[in-house]
């Protein structure tokens, strides 16, 4: 992931770095497929993060603040 000119919180930088690592390892030739439980956890957290982001964007839109794109 390239560095951002915007200030990003450390916990989010860690999260993004870990996501990048997971995405990169999927394409490694020796990567074992994820187990059913691992896939369920990936989907759960991806959906929860997406819902959180959508809720914040909706709240910002309702409050007249610019929505993130």
Tell me, what's the pLDDT at 68?
A: 56
For the record, the structure tokens of 62 come out as 């309702």
pTM here? 0.71
Write down the H helix ranges in 1-69: 10-26, 36-62
Tell me, what's the pLDDT at 5?
A: 74
Tell me, what's the pLDDT at 63?
A: 85
As a whole-number percent, the residues of the chain with pLDDT over 90 amount to: 75
Count Cβ atoms below 10 Å from residue 54 Cβ, excluding itself: 10
């Amino acid at each position: 992931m390239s560095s951002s000119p915007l200030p990003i919180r450390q916990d989010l930088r860690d999260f993004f770095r870990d996501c990048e690592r997971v995405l990169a390892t999927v394409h490694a030739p020796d990567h074992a497929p994820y187990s059913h439980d691992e896939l369920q956890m990936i989907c759960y957290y991806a959906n929860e993060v997406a819902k959180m982001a959508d809720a914040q964007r909706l709240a910002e839109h309702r409050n007249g603040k610019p929505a993130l794109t």
